[in-house]
């Protein structure tokens, strides 16, 4: 694979690999919190702000976003 030109690195990787890895960790923690709230909401059969289905959809979205951040951090670290 060809190296990414220096002018494009900032557009692709933004703040650097450490930043993207930290963002991914925060998004995973938020996703886990949403998953727990969704499980509790489903067990109680009550809406805790949102219904359990919406909490699970938010969890999936946050985990996909976290995966994207991890991949961006990996690629930024790989590019150097």
Locate the domains of the chain by residue range: 15-79
What pTM was estimated for this model as a whole? Answer: 0.76
Intervals of the chain under pLDDT 70: 1-2, 4-14, 80
Q: Which of 26, 80, 32 is nearest to 56 (CA)?
A: 32
Give pLDDT, residue 73: 86
Tell me how far CA of residue 47 lies from CA of 36, 41, 59, in angstroms.
13, 6, 16
């Amino acid at each position: 694979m060809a190296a990414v030109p220096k002018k494009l690195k900032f557009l692709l990787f933004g703040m650097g690999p450490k930043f993207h890895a930290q963002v991914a960790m925060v998004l995973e923690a938020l996703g886990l919190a949403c998953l727990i709230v969704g499980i509790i909401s489903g067990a109680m059969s009550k809406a805790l702000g949102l219904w359990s289905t919406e909490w699970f959809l938010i969890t999936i979205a946050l985990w996909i976003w976290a995966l994207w951040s991890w991949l961006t951090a990996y690629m930024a670290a790989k590019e150097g």
